[in-house]
Amino acid sequence: MLKQFTVKTNSRCQMIDVTGEVRSILREAGYTSGVCQVYVPHTTAGITINENADPDVPRDILATLERLVPLHGNYRHSEGNSDAHVKASLMGFSQTVFFENGTLILGTWQSVFFCEFDGPRTRSFFVKLIPTS
Protein backbone atom coordinates (compact mmCIF):
# COMPACT_ATOMS: atom_id res chain seq x y z
CA MET A 1 0.00 0.00 0.00
CA LEU A 2 1.30 3.44 -0.97
CA LYS A 3 -0.23 6.65 0.30
CA GLN A 4 0.72 10.27 -0.35
CA PHE A 5 0.31 13.00 2.26
CA THR A 6 0.75 16.76 2.02
CA VAL A 7 2.16 19.03 4.67
CA LYS A 8 2.09 22.83 4.73
CA THR A 9 5.17 24.38 6.26
CA ASN A 10 5.18 27.82 7.88
CA SER A 11 8.83 28.82 7.88
CA ARG A 12 12.03 28.37 5.91
CA CYS A 13 13.37 25.65 8.21
CA GLN A 14 10.99 23.56 10.24
CA MET A 15 10.54 20.04 11.61
CA ILE A 16 6.97 18.71 11.63
CA ASP A 17 5.94 15.53 13.44
CA VAL A 18 4.17 13.31 10.87
CA THR A 19 3.99 10.18 13.03
CA GLY A 20 0.21 10.50 13.29
CA GLU A 21 -0.19 10.38 9.51
CA VAL A 22 2.08 7.33 9.31
CA ARG A 23 0.12 5.57 12.07
CA SER A 24 -3.13 6.48 10.31
CA ILE A 25 -2.20 4.66 7.12
CA LEU A 26 -1.05 1.65 9.13
CA ARG A 27 -4.42 1.50 10.93
CA GLU A 28 -6.26 1.96 7.62
CA ALA A 29 -4.32 -0.88 5.98
CA GLY A 30 -4.89 -3.29 8.84
CA TYR A 31 -1.52 -4.99 8.36
CA THR A 32 -0.06 -6.78 11.36
CA SER A 33 3.65 -7.07 10.64
CA GLY A 34 6.05 -5.57 8.14
CA VAL A 35 8.09 -2.59 7.07
CA CYS A 36 7.02 1.02 6.66
CA GLN A 37 9.02 3.27 4.35
CA VAL A 38 8.54 7.06 4.56
CA TYR A 39 9.92 8.97 1.56
CA VAL A 40 10.19 12.66 0.68
CA PRO A 41 10.34 13.45 -3.08
CA HIS A 42 11.93 16.87 -2.68
CA THR A 43 15.57 17.95 -2.96
CA THR A 44 15.26 20.62 -0.26
CA ALA A 45 13.31 18.65 2.36
CA GLY A 46 14.07 15.52 4.32
CA ILE A 47 12.75 12.98 6.77
CA THR A 48 14.23 11.88 10.08
CA ILE A 49 13.39 10.08 13.30
CA ASN A 50 14.20 11.77 16.57
CA GLU A 51 12.85 12.85 19.94
CA ASN A 52 9.50 14.55 20.16
CA ALA A 53 9.06 14.73 23.94
CA ASP A 54 11.08 17.95 24.23
CA PRO A 55 10.47 20.64 21.56
CA ASP A 56 13.99 21.91 22.16
CA VAL A 57 15.42 18.84 20.39
CA PRO A 58 14.04 19.76 16.93
CA ARG A 59 15.02 23.39 17.59
CA ASP A 60 18.56 22.30 18.48
CA ILE A 61 18.79 20.14 15.36
CA LEU A 62 17.70 23.04 13.14
CA ALA A 63 20.04 25.49 14.91
CA THR A 64 22.97 23.10 14.53
CA LEU A 65 22.26 22.55 10.84
CA GLU A 66 22.12 26.32 10.35
CA ARG A 67 25.53 26.73 12.02
CA LEU A 68 27.02 23.90 9.94
CA VAL A 69 25.37 24.91 6.66
CA PRO A 70 24.47 28.64 6.77
CA LEU A 71 21.90 30.18 4.46
CA HIS A 72 24.52 32.43 2.89
CA GLY A 73 27.78 30.78 1.96
CA ASN A 74 30.16 30.38 -0.91
CA TYR A 75 27.69 28.33 -2.97
CA ARG A 76 27.64 28.03 -6.76
CA HIS A 77 24.00 27.04 -7.19
CA SER A 78 22.25 30.19 -8.40
CA GLU A 79 18.77 29.70 -6.90
CA GLY A 80 19.76 30.85 -3.41
CA ASN A 81 18.80 27.62 -1.68
CA SER A 82 22.03 25.64 -1.74
CA ASP A 83 21.98 25.32 2.03
CA ALA A 84 18.58 23.63 1.79
CA HIS A 85 19.94 21.04 -0.64
CA VAL A 86 22.86 20.25 1.66
CA LYS A 87 20.69 20.07 4.81
CA ALA A 88 18.22 17.76 3.08
CA SER A 89 21.05 15.50 1.94
CA LEU A 90 22.41 15.37 5.48
CA MET A 91 19.00 14.40 6.88
CA GLY A 92 18.16 11.98 4.11
CA PHE A 93 15.06 11.47 2.01
CA SER A 94 13.64 8.31 3.56
CA GLN A 95 13.30 6.40 6.80
CA THR A 96 12.34 2.82 7.50
CA VAL A 97 10.27 1.79 10.52
CA PHE A 98 9.25 -1.76 11.33
CA PHE A 99 5.76 -2.52 12.55
CA GLU A 100 4.49 -5.45 14.57
CA ASN A 101 0.98 -6.20 15.89
CA GLY A 102 -0.23 -3.23 13.84
CA THR A 103 2.02 -0.82 15.76
CA LEU A 104 5.06 1.16 14.60
CA ILE A 105 8.19 0.06 16.44
CA LEU A 106 9.52 3.42 17.61
CA GLY A 107 11.42 4.17 20.78
CA THR A 108 9.58 5.76 23.70
CA TRP A 109 10.50 9.30 22.69
CA GLN A 110 10.84 8.81 18.91
CA SER A 111 8.70 10.42 16.22
CA VAL A 112 8.95 10.69 12.45
CA PHE A 113 9.68 14.25 11.34
CA PHE A 114 9.25 15.95 7.98
CA CYS A 115 12.13 18.44 7.68
CA GLU A 116 11.59 21.61 5.65
CA PHE A 117 14.67 23.57 4.58
CA ASP A 118 13.30 25.84 1.82
CA GLY A 119 9.85 26.92 2.96
CA PRO A 120 7.28 27.92 3.53
CA ARG A 121 5.71 25.54 1.00
CA THR A 122 3.15 22.83 0.55
CA ARG A 123 5.09 19.57 0.37
CA SER A 124 4.35 15.91 0.03
CA PHE A 125 5.68 12.68 1.41
CA PHE A 126 4.87 9.06 0.75
CA VAL A 127 4.27 6.16 3.09
CA LYS A 128 4.73 2.64 1.73
CA LEU A 129 3.68 -0.36 3.82
CA ILE A 130 5.19 -3.72 3.01
CA PRO A 131 3.45 -6.45 4.99
CA THR A 132 5.30 -9.61 5.98
CA SER A 133 2.31 -11.52 7.28
CATH code of residue 121: 2.60.120.460
For the four alpha carbons of 26, 117, 58 and 7, in that order, the dihedral sign comes to negative
What pLDDT was estimated at residue 78?
A: 86
Give residue 120's pLDDT band: very low, low, confident or very high (50, 70, 90). Answer: very high
Number of domains in the chain: 1
Domain housing 96? 2-131
Cβ within 8 Å of residue 25, ≥6 positions away: 1, 3, 127, 129
Q: What percent of the chain has pLDDT over 90?
A: 93
Tell me the per-residue pLDDT of 66-111, one tens digit each, with 9 for 90 and over. 999 999 989 999 888 999 999 999 999 999 999 999 999 999 999 9
What pLDDT was estimated at residue 66?
A: 97
* Dihedrals phi, psi of 25, to nearest 5 degrees: -65, -35
Residues in the chain: 133
What pLDDT was estimated at residue 73?
A: 87
